[in-house]
Amino acid sequence: MSTKRCGIIELPKIHDVRGNLTFVESSRHVPFEIKRVYYLYDVPGGASRAAHGHKALHQLMIAMSGSFDVTVDDGEKKRMFHLNRSYYGLYIPPMIWRDLDNFSSGAVCMVLASDYYDEDDYFRDRNDFIRAARRKKS
């Protein structure tokens, strides 16, 4: 996989003077069926999260509140995205390493995932990820 496949997806936004509404529909607004939703919150200042990759999982990350940075890495190239709008989601396909940091106070990161939790789908060691990524590209 390449970081070129990672990108911002603009989600529908319904404007209303009483407050805006954004929604996400599985396989319509995201390029996968949503099977799991989780969120990160109360991340201490200076802390980072993620630092892993997935073999088969697709994800969409959304800053529901506050902001944070996501660095995606395919083993050769890195790209950084600053998420700070609840109607923008960052699509991350399989075989991409991700690091989250620079969380603002009160930041909430919601993640939509294409499958149920499976520890066997994770790369926890960056060197293992890089070796697997190089094998896939050759």
Q: Report, as residue numbers or ranges, the catalytic residues.
A: 52
At residue 17, the 3 state secondary structure works out as coil
Q: How far apart are the C-alpha atoms of 59 and 66, rounded to whole Å?
A: 19
Checking 32-36 for CB contacts under 8 A at 24+ apart, the result is 32/58, 32/114, 33/114, 34/112, 34/113, 34/114, 35/113, 35/114, 35/115, 35/116, 36/112, 36/113, 36/115, 36/116, 36/117
